[in-house]
Amino acid sequence: MLSAMRTRADDRPRPRHHRAPGAVLSWVLPGVATVVWALVVTTGHSWGRVTAHWASAVTMLGGSFLAGSSPEGGGAVAFPVFTKVLHVSPAVARTFGLSIQAVGMTMAVVAIVVNRRRLHLPTALVASLSAVVGFGLTLAVAGRHDLVFWPARFGVAWVKATFSVLLAGTSVLMIRHLRRGPHHHLDPPWGPRPALVVALVALAGGGLSALAGTGANIVVFLLLVVVFGVHPKVALPTAILVMAVVSLVGLGVLGVLDGQLDVVVAADRVVSVGGRPVELAASSADLWGLWMAAVPVVVWGAPLGSWAAARVREATLVGFVAVLAATEVVTTCILVPELRHDPRLIAYLVGGLVAVPALFVWAERRAEALVGRPAVPSLAGPGPPGLGAGDGEQG
């Protein structure tokens, strides 16, 4: 049945020297991906470009850990660091995030399947389809197709503020629910009304992903945990699957079809993107080099992050995300000069920081009317009967 994908490993105790085939495959896949990566870089004579973008690899050390241990994904680290520290444009950072998640999150989905983790397939299917539609509509309406990398029409500062609102709102909700009592349901309620709610929320998440390279996973996770009352170890793999689909579409549309990964570099300048002549700094516009530098880090970092997350208290992880969100908001206020003189942008940032958590809290309190089941909020506490300690982890 599609009501749930119950994929748990055999619970019988095994000798300490025995490893489940899925666990072994989870570590074989990064090795195979690393070999393929090395062949691509070597045959393309790209080692110089890869080493020149060592900062991308360092950034994704933290990003891949977060991707393996929280709903924010690697974009929660990559986007702010790229746009504020490495001076990469939001459009390049977005396509980078989608491209790197197409690798990391796809491997995470494979690990979820082979390790027989539990997720809710109907939610994943509806949310993936709706998020892809939202992604495409946002690119079509808000993207500047006459420029390379398809930047947003409404300016860099607004994109940065939107990302800050999303990350900060998520952290507030996670902290709030961590402070509540233990819960949860294994599967969300399902039917036409819950499916419609999932589709609408995922549609917005897909739009956010078209701007910042992440977002669909975050809003789907919050919807499942806050409104539907689903255990995070079920909600997290479901959200990962949704973002993997959106990332693959983003890689295909932006990276391949539009040629944003087809970057030609001469000396320290990018001279062509997708066959279009340009004159950009290679340090911030060589998307291929940025991507290739981070691939080996991500293919190993995501499973390592998941492994570490299984051994760290959830409160510690939530605290880490909260610090990240606070840093993101503070640096946005300091490093985005438009916030010093644009009252509309200031109102948008402050209003968003209040409105996003308030919207989910409102939905939580009306969960029975919205989806037919009252949510029992928390991210803390043991899982309900039938949910193993490993269920929902990312390989």
pLDDT at 294: 93
Q: Which residues of 22-49 are buried (b: 16+ CB within 10 A; e: fewer)?
A: bbebbeebbeebeeebeeebeeeebeeb
Q: What angle do CA 19, 394, 165 make, to 5 degrees?
A: 165
The three-state secondary structure class of 158 is helix
pLDDT digits over 186-217, tens only?
677 788 888 999 999 999 999 989 988 888 98
pLDDT at 178: 67
pLDDT above 90 coverage of the chain, percent: 31
The three-state secondary structure class of 86 is coil
Q: Left if phi > 0, otherwise alpha if psi is -120 to 50, otherwise beta: which for 2?
A: alpha
- Rounded-to-integer distance, Cα 306 and Cα 368, Å: 33
pTM listed for this prediction: 0.83
pLDDT at 332: 80
Closest CA to 394 of 166, 62, 34, 69: 69
Q: How confident is the model at residue 314 (pLDDT cuts 50, 70, 90)?
A: low
**Most confident listed range (97-101, 184-188, 253-257):** 253-257
Averaged pLDDT for residues 19-27: 63
Dihedrals phi, psi of 280, to nearest 5 degrees:
-130, 155
- pLDDT beyond 60 at 391: no
The three-state secondary structure class of 281 is strand
- Rounded-to-integer distance, Cα 60 and Cα 257, Å: 25
Sign of CA pseudo-dihedral 275, 276, 281, 286: negative
- pLDDT beyond 90 at 313: no
Closest CA to 60 of 84, 82, 78: 78
- Helix count and strand count (H, E) for the chain: 15, 3
- Rounded-to-integer distance, Cα 152 and Cα 139, Å: 8
Q: How confident is the model at residue 94 (pLDDT cuts 50, 70, 90)?
A: very high
Strand ranges in 314-368 using DSSP code E only, listed in sequence order: none
Closest CA to 42 of 32, 30, 53, 34: 34
Q: What angle do CA 363, 173, 312 make, to 5 degrees?
A: 135
Closest CA to 210 of 133, 128, 288: 133
Q: Which residues contact 151 (CB under 8 A, 6 or more apart)?
A: 89, 90, 91, 143, 144
Q: Which of residues 242 and 159 earns the better pLDDT score?
A: 242
| Range in 130-134, 164-168, 375-379 with the lowest mean pLDDT | 375-379
pLDDT digits over 259-295, tens only?
999 999 998 899 999 999 999 999 899 999 999 999 9
Q: Which of residues 387 and 282 earns the better pLDDT score?
A: 282
- Rounded-to-integer distance, Cα 50 and Cα 195, Å: 43
Averaged pLDDT for residues 18-28: 63
pLDDT at 305: 66
pLDDT digits over 36-64, tens only?
999 999 998 889 999 999 999 998 887 77
Q: Determine whether 211 is exposed, middle or buried from the number of CB atoms within 10 Å of its CB (0-12, 13-18, 19+).
A: buried
Mean per-residue pLDDT of the chain: 80
Cβ neighbour number for residue 341 with a 10 Å cutoff? 8
